[in-house]
Amino acid sequence: MDKPTLCLLVVAMAAPCITGAKLVKGQQSVPRPTMTTEGLISDKLWPGGVVPFVFSKAYSREDQARQLVLKAMAGFENSTCIRFVPRTTEKDFVIINSGIMKSCSAYIGNQHLGSQQILLNPASCFPNGNIGVAQHQLMHTLGFGHEQSRSDRDQFVDINWSNVAQANDSFPLSTEDTTFGEPYDFDSIMHAGMFENAIDKSIWTVRPKEKYRDKVIGQSIQLSGTDIRKINKMYKCPGHALPVPVTTADTKPDLLRKTRNSA
């Protein structure tokens, strides 16, 4: 049985994947949750879209961070059928913890471990009070990988492999169709920025192809409309007619994590 996959998000939104306690290097060696055209297999989804959670003792001293986590959760609840509920007696639940490293991380999907952690370090995971990094990790918990790993990504972005840090794993190419019929989403909260996992931080690692040169990638403000539609489809939310926020890349370019494709 494969060990659960943990996606780690450091301060610059880099996201290598960790298996157990070991950092896995390279593109092909990281175990992935079994996928179908509907997304994660059903036993990795949270039943009914309900995710029980608790805050760790460490978070009891972080009132502002707790409020930001709750705000991030509300962003899902306002536009999808996902519900984050305080845990009572549920067997499977998530623990919101600050972690030891200044990083942000989450397992992909319901691991059926009893408890599984989402690490959201208050000093690192809420830049300028934004909740996008937290929502990125909550989407991992729901069962989603990175947008730039979808099977058709090479039609939309280029990867500068010569500048990708070998210890990181942000750019594995998925072989499964998990797009839910949605177009490639440069504005996804799950998309890496241009300098993600760079060896030389002044040189890009991922950028839109020339025909998409005007696209912004790496926003960390809030869920995109496509993110929300995918969640609603994967969890079969009734009607798929819940409100979708305005695209953040069009409305708040000054708050984006990375610049436009000018490198």
pLDDT tens digits along 141-161: 999 989 999 989 999 999 999
What is the Cβ-side half-sphere exposure of residue 180, based on CA atoms within 13 angstroms? 19
29 pLDDT above the threshold of 80: no
Closest to 229 measured CA to CA, from 211, 213, 205, 245: 245
Give the number of domains in the chain: 1
Q: Cα–Cα distance between 85 and 87 in angstroms, integer?
A: 6
* 98 is a domain residue: yes
Residue pair 179/152 in contact (Cβ under 8 Å)? The answer is yes
Binding residue positions for Zn(2+): 136, 140, 146
Residue pair 221/128 in contact (Cβ under 8 Å)? The answer is no
Which residues are CB-neighbours of 183 under 8 A, at least 6 positions away?
A: 226
> The domain containing residue 131 runs over which residues?
5-142
Q: What is the DSSP letter of 134?
A: H
Across the chain, mean pLDDT equals: 79
* 248 is a domain residue: no
Residue pair 148/52 in contact (Cβ under 8 Å)? The answer is no
Task: Classify each residue of 153-184 as buried b or exposed e, where b means 16 or more C-beta atoms within 10 Å of its C-beta.
Answer: beebbebbeebbbeebbbbbebebebbeeeeb
Q: CATH number for the domain including 76? A: 3.40.390.10
Share of the chain above pLDDT 70, in %: 71
| Lowest mean pLDDT segment, chosen from 6-10, 60-64, 216-220, 225-229 | 6-10
pLDDT in tens, 227-247: 999 999 999 998 655 555 554
Binding residue positions: 136, 140, 146
CA 238 to chain centroid, in Å, comes to 23
Residue type present at position 22: K
The torsion region of residue 114 among left (phi > 0), alpha (psi -120 to 50) and beta comes to left
| Lowest mean pLDDT segment, chosen from 17-21, 115-119, 142-146 | 17-21
Strands (E), 109-148: 115-120
* pLDDT, position 176: 66
Average pLDDT over residues 68-82: 96
Q: Cα–Cα distance between 161 and 173 in angstroms, integer?
A: 13
Residue 34 — pLDDT band, cuts 50, 70, 90? very low
Q: What is the DSSP letter of 170?
A: S
* 188 is a domain residue: no
Average pLDDT over residues 40-50: 83
* 29 is a domain residue: yes
* 224 is a domain residue: no
* 21 is a domain residue: yes
Q: Cα–Cα distance between 100 and 46 in angstroms, integer?
A: 27
**Both tokens of residue 91?**
């067997």
Closest to 30 measured CA to CA, from 133, 224, 168: 168
* 59 is a domain residue: yes
Angle between helices 132-142 and 225-234 (to 10 degrees): 20
Residue type present at position 255: L
* 208 is a domain residue: no
The torsion region of residue 103 among left (phi > 0), alpha (psi -120 to 50) and beta comes to beta
Residue 168 — pLDDT band, cuts 50, 70, 90? low
